[in-house]
Amino acid sequence: MHLDENLPARYSQVFVSSGVGETAAAVYADRRSQLLQKMDSFGVFAGVPREPGSEEAFTSTWSRFVQDPAFLFLTGVNQPGCYLLLDPLAKDPLRREILFVPPKDASKEFWYGLRIGYSESLDEIRLLTGIKTILPVERFWPLLRELSTSYRGSLQHAYAFCLEFTTQTGDVKRFRGDHNDAFAEKVNAVFSEQGLEFRSLAPLHFDLRVVLDSGRIAAVKKAQEWTRLAFEETLREIPMLHNERQLGLNLDYRMQSLSDGDLAFPTIVAGGRNACCLHYAKKDEPLRKGELVLLDFGIRFGTQHSDISRTVPVSGQFDPLQRLLYQIILDAQEFHQAQVKPGALLKELDLKVWEFIEDALESRFVSLGGHYQLEYELRPHGVSHLIGEQVHEGDPFRCYSEKPLVPGMMI
């Protein structure tokens, strides 16, 4: 059976091909193949159990993307309630990749559109995902127990995806309370029954995911270009806008008009002292002449993100002190870019940038009679983070900052 060119469009709400191209199924299959080559035992992933925002009766997100980025990266399946099993040791090729999906629900499709579901005909799911073996979701836990039992005595460990990482000093850190943590606890109970050691798949997964291939780099460039154009158009409008909300709506409209999807994250617009709150969300105060306004914004193309921060004068002109401080940060940015190269450590690069800023403040401001007071000890935050399938890509503890940068990473 051949892929109907209209099939991805029909399923576009729950299968991501935007930014991946017409060969989406092959791209996802290649990612799974690369991960399978890294694995020495079987492993499992859980998609989100329910759509984010549906945990409470009074909330809903209405966002295009609802899926865990790890699950989305390997399958393209953008709906809740699914599982993925990968087994590099399976003798039968059809058992190396198994996708578990909820039953087909015509009533839900009436409200939310066409969805991936288990039914008598699974050909469309196979064509979309490239996964040949599709099973109903209720088969996941029984099959996991069967598989764990079959490998008892021949394997020492098995994997599940959760955000658990080991630092360079040997400390184990795990993100608690999310759906991956709850899933891992249940999987660990199954493994323990058969004497299998539980291991997190996250380190292997992120080693693959944080290095962008040519297709993802092209998608990132497109997202960056859209974001740049939207910012430049908005910049000309700022002196005519009256408050943070107007500015945010103006920028959001321009980004989303150019793009194919959602914002990368809720746009931050923080005028004056509000900019001291880096993740300021209120966005309802007036813009005052003579003050600066912080903008933190970005857009998606497919599953790739842009993330740009700029601080600009509300009036369109810097005063002398604002210009001095802005130039220090601009020079620090150029210094940082010159230091970035394969093999460098982000942790060390961050320290160098902060030292540059502190030295510049001393030589260009304090030595001339200026005074300032820090509202933090040492450094308040890192200078760079990875970007990719998430705005803040990589492990949440930033263990990656202690590992050498690799060509294809984006910061």
3-class secondary structure, 154: coil
Report pLDDT for 62.
Answer: 64
Residue 178, class by beta-carbon neighbours within 10 Å (0-12 exposed, 13-18 middle, 19+ buried)?
middle
Report pLDDT for 2.
Answer: 60
Nearest alpha carbon to residue 47 among 68, 26, 23, 65: 68
Asked which of 179, 209, 239 is the last residue of a domain, the reply is 209
Which two tokens mark 324?
């001095």
CA–CA separation, 354 and 374 (whole Å):
13
Q: Residue 73: which H helix or E strand, with range?
A: helix 69-75
CA–CA separation, 131 and 322 (whole Å):
56
Angstrom CA distances, 1 to 16, 95, 127, stand at: 21, 21, 8
List, as one string, the DSSP characters of 3-46. Answer: PPTTHHHHTTTTB--TTT-TTHHHHHHHHHHHHHHH-SS-EEEE
CA–CA separation, 401 and 382 (whole Å):
10
- In sequence order, which residues have a C-beta less than 8 Å from that of residue 97 and are 6 or more positions away? 32, 36, 84, 85, 86, 131, 132, 133
Report pLDDT for 3.
Answer: 60
Report pLDDT for 224.
Answer: 96
Asked which of 190, 209, 228 is the last residue of a domain, the reply is 209
At 262, which amino acid appears? D
Report pLDDT for 256.
Answer: 96
Is 78 contained in some domain? Answer: yes
Note whether 204 and 218 are same-domain residues.
no
Note whether 53 and 136 are same-domain residues.
yes
CATH assignment at residue 275 = 3.90.230.10
Note whether 379 and 292 are same-domain residues.
yes
Note whether 392 and 245 are same-domain residues.
yes
Total domains, the chain? 2
CATH assignment at residue 84 = 3.40.350.10
Q: Which residue has tokens 């590099």?
A: 88
pLDDT tens digits in sequence order for the chain, 411 residues long? 566 778 888 898 889 888 787 789 999 999 999 999 999 999 999 999 988 878 788 877 667 778 999 999 999 999 999 999 999 999 999 999 999 999 999 998 998 889 999 998 899 999 999 999 999 999 999 999 999 999 999 999 999 999 999 988 899 999 999 999 999 999 999 999 999 999 999 999 999 999 999 999 999 999 999 999 999 999 999 999 999 999 999 999 999 999 877 899 999 999 999 998 989 999 999 999 999 999 999 999 999 999 999 999 999 999 999 999 999 999 999 999 999 999 999 999 999 999 999 999 999 999 999 999 988 887 888 899 999 999 999 999 999 999 999 999 999
